[in-house]
Amino acid sequence: MCGIAGWIDWTRDLSDDGRTLKNMTDAIEHRGPDAEGSWLKGHAALGHRRLIVIDPDGGKQPMLYQNEKNTIALTYNGELYNYLELRKELTERNHPFTTNSDTEVLLRAYLEWGEDCVRHFNGIFAFGIWDEEKEKLILGRDHLGVKPLFYKIKEDQILFGSEIKALLAHPDVQAEIDTEGLSEVFGLGPMKTPGKAIFKDIYEVRGGHYMTVTKNDRKTVQYWKLESKEHKDDVETTVQTIRGLLEDTVKRQLIADKPLVSMLSGGLDSSGLTAIAGKEFKEENKVLPTYSIDFVNNEESFKEDFLRRDLDEPWVKRVSDHVGTDHTSIVFDAEKLVDNLLIPMRARDLPGVGEIETSLYLLFKEMKKDATVALSGESADEVFSGYPWFHQEKFLDADVFPWLLNIGGIAGVLNEDLKDWLNIKEYQKQRYQEALAELPVLEGESDVEAKQRRMSYMFITRFLPFMLDRKDRASMMTGFEVRVPFCDYRLVEYLWNIPFEMKNIDDIEKGILRRAFEGYLPDDVRNRRKSAYPSTKDDAYLAGVQKWMNNILDDSTSPILQLIDVEAVRKIADGESSLPDSSAKGLLDYLIQVNGWLKEYSIKVAI
């Protein structure tokens, strides 16, 4: 994994602008702490920060192809899991290779297939290719958008980078937010609209898309999307297909020249992947290291809620003993979570979900001490329709994104003038209707089946991008790569058309996945009900963010004061509101981050 940045200006020679390019790549040094590279010629400046995972000597970037007529330069972040097959195919098509890296495979794939090369890839990737002869830039992103890619077009130039901070390091880019950006921040929260970057005039290449940009033309192509069709496989065939796809995907994603480990929560998703990976390790006479997270006083203070049914750690031990992993549990206290609250915001360049992201960042920071790569069970709930909302009328019948019914309230603390100006409810409905218009319907489905397909689409295309962003930024902030087997596009395509009733077979969420893991996991683990990513229940954490918020409210220079109803927030910070502690904690987490974001990024609010 790596960080990329680039700058094309069709009216200038950028050969002497190395300092500006270096500022852009330095801003994302954390994504690639092992090496840096740059290439500047004519109208193009491409930069790279490298985290070495495969082929330490051969994967240096930017990577060039040159002949007497043309130079093609590539800067790339990601992994191609089918690069060995592609290399073989390209070799048969008379392409020579001088390295063992997937970077060279991507470059050669462009030489062979042009922009259609993306249709041949299975992996997680974001790249920029400069074709000097055509004076054309190609920006491409993987099917689900696991790897990030942002850009800004201004007059005759385009800037791009793995993170927004790379663009903000350029002198022509200002940190500014307008009405639409505020509506995203307070109306949708961290689950922003795909393609939007919140900052004014900065956008992202959406997953499953690529862009081509020349001086006089810009084109965006969706090369992959979900297609609805009848699922004709019976249950047993479906189970075996899922099992086969997961086994193949995990095996592909275990390839690394650096130490690899697995995340293990004791839940179905990470446990199943750990079991598959553990089997592969055993066949090579190795032991798979695994890691989990826990909190000080968690056993004493744990309370069951809508998303968390029981403690993870007993199940973690059960799976680790069964698979035979070398397990480490990382424990954090409330003070450490509070002290590090703003780091994930700096990683994302945007406010996030507070201590849930903070603990994830701290976990990766510890894991990085022992490894460079990890497997994660992220996205199984989205692609297997695992959330309880899929069978509850309140959520199925909603005319907004279903998660907003549970996590609404951010807009409720805005001041009255801003509430009237933004009209958040209307904005939420507008974005929901845009998503609905994309939905590939299937004729002949029942009303309930159609609603469940609709909800599945919302989770895959609107909620999952947030989850992937969270994991990418939290891991890459520590120079650590996390792979997500459940995001293999072949698996996602197949699951998309499996009826919810079959996904939910045996009258339990993700029942079809539980059957696929039969033989890999003990029955009690396979039948454990879903419990979400852990959150601290320690009262000390709530007290810490309440104190922090009061300090913000007492500081007349706090930028958030111009946006919020100060007295309403004060009541929450003083523990005098009617909000449950969990809701108060989440809201204060978010407002603290918004204030820190506005202040640290010196954001100009233009409304």
Sequential DSSP letters for 464-476? HHHHHHHHHHHHH
Is 487 a catalytic site residue?
no
Contact 502, 231 (CB under 8 A): yes
In 132-267, the DSSP E strands lie at 136-141, 150-154, 157-161, 176-177, 203-204, 209-213, 218-222, 260-263
**Active-site entry in 2, 72, 383, 398:** 2
Cα 312 to the chain's mean position, in Å?
23
For 121, phi then psi, to 5°, come to -95, 145
Confirm if 222 and 167 have CB atoms less than 8 A apart: no
Nearest-CA neighbor of 281 among 316, 323, 248, 219? 323
Q: Could you tell me the end-to-end alpha-carbon distance of the chain, in angstroms, rounded to an integer?
A: 38
- Cα 164 to chain centroid, rounded: 14
Sheet with 136-141: strands ordered across: 63-66, 71-80, 123-131, 136-141, 209-213, 218-222
Distance CA 388, CA 381 (A): 10
Give the three-state DSSP class for 180. helix
Task: Determine the residue type at 157.
Answer: Q
Give the pair of three-digit tokens for residue 464: 């999952």
* Cα(89)–Cα(246) distance, integer angstroms: 24
Q: Tell me the two tokens of residue 437.
A: 């218009």
Alpha-carbon gap, residue 190 to 184, rounded angstroms: 8
Q: From 360, 373, 163, select the one nearest 254 (Cα to Cα).
A: 373
How many helices (H) and strands (E) the chain has is answered by 26, 19
**Dihedral, CA atoms, 450, 451, 455, 458, nearest 10 degrees?**
70
* Catalytically annotated residues: 2
